């Protein structure tokens, strides 16, 4: 049997995608809309470390396309804390207007190819990678992925040494984009439908296209990777909600 690689785990992560019930929003009175808007702004401030003063971080993004309208992204210390963040949205008075679209549960992961698990304190640079704040960049891209388990292209039947070699070459491509994109890898084996989630953050969305395209030519992706749906969004700060809702509904 091929040798499994130990991993280090950090924040638990929830990607909570929602659709806005636009017909319901249009049917609401001006007073209802104003109350909903104020409530959503307060909710976002609290989730991202306002009065709740919790460990972890949250951010909200508008999603381009028709797979969802919003992404509520949460980093938390425990699985129960992710549930609390999800329920804060579910129990908000504006919940009937925010319809669940899809979600993804995972945990920030560093593999033994990159970081060696041990018994001593983790170096500060490893701590920062396991327990980061959500990067402040304007754009986000999320996609899930698997490693193939089919025939001659079975990742899990390769030796540890061969997998380490392939991952080292794969990482070299990512390092060429240092300073342009932040990548957070989350493990989801046994937690969700795919094996990993990849979340990219950048101030230029074209970087997502260029990075993913270049990586497709790497053997690790070309032979062994399978990808789910890609979702791209723009950061939505609490003060941005009025402009976004007015733009989305043609009211301003």
- SS3 assignment for 127-147: HHHHCCCCCCCCEEEEEEEEE
Per the residue annotation, which of 143, 156, 213, 224 is the catalytic one?
143
**Known active-site residue 213:** no
CB 206: neighbour CB atoms within 10 A? 10
- Give strand ranges (E) for the chain: 7-20, 57-63, 70-76, 98-111, 139-147, 149-150, 153-154, 181-187, 196-202, 225-227, 231-235
Residue 1 DSSP class: -
SS3 39: helix
From the list 2, 1, 43, 48, the residue with the least C-alpha distance to 162 is 2
Q: How far apart are CA 100 and CA 227, in angstroms?
A: 22
Beta partners for residue 76, in sequence order? 12
Supply the residues annotated as catalytic. 143
């Amino acid at each position: 049997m091929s040798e499994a690689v130990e991993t280090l785990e950090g924040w638990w992560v929830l990607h909570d995608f929602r659709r806005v019930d636009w017909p319901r929003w249009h049917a609401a009175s001006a007073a209802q809309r104003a109350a909903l808007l104020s409530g959503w702004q307060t909710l976002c401030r609290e989730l991202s470390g306002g009065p709740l003063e919790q460990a972890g971080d949250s951010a909200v993004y508008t999603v381009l396309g028709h797979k969802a309208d919003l992404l509520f992204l949460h980093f938390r210390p425990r699985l129960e804390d992710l549930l609390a963040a999800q329920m804060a949205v579910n129990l908000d008075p504006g919940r009937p207007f925010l319809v669940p679209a899809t979600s993804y549960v995972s945990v920030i992961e560093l593999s033994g190819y990159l970081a060696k698990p041990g018994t001593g304190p983790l170096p500060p640079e490893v701590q920062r990678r396991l327990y980061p704040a959500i990067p402040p960049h304007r754009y986000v891209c999320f996609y899930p992925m698997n490693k193939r388990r089919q025939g001659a292209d079975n990742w899990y039947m390769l030796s540890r040494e061969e997998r380490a070699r392939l991952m080292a070459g794969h990482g070299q491509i990512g390092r060429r984009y240092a300073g342009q994109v932040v990548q957070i890898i989350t493990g989801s084996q046994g937690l969700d439908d795919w094996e990993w989630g990849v979340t990219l953050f950048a101030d230029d969305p074209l970087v997502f296209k260029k990075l993913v395209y270049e990586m497709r030519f790497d053997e690790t992706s070309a032979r062994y990777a399978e990808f789910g749906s890609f979702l791209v969004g723009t950061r939505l700060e609490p003060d941005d909600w009025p402009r976004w809702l007015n733009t989305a509904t043609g009211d301003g």
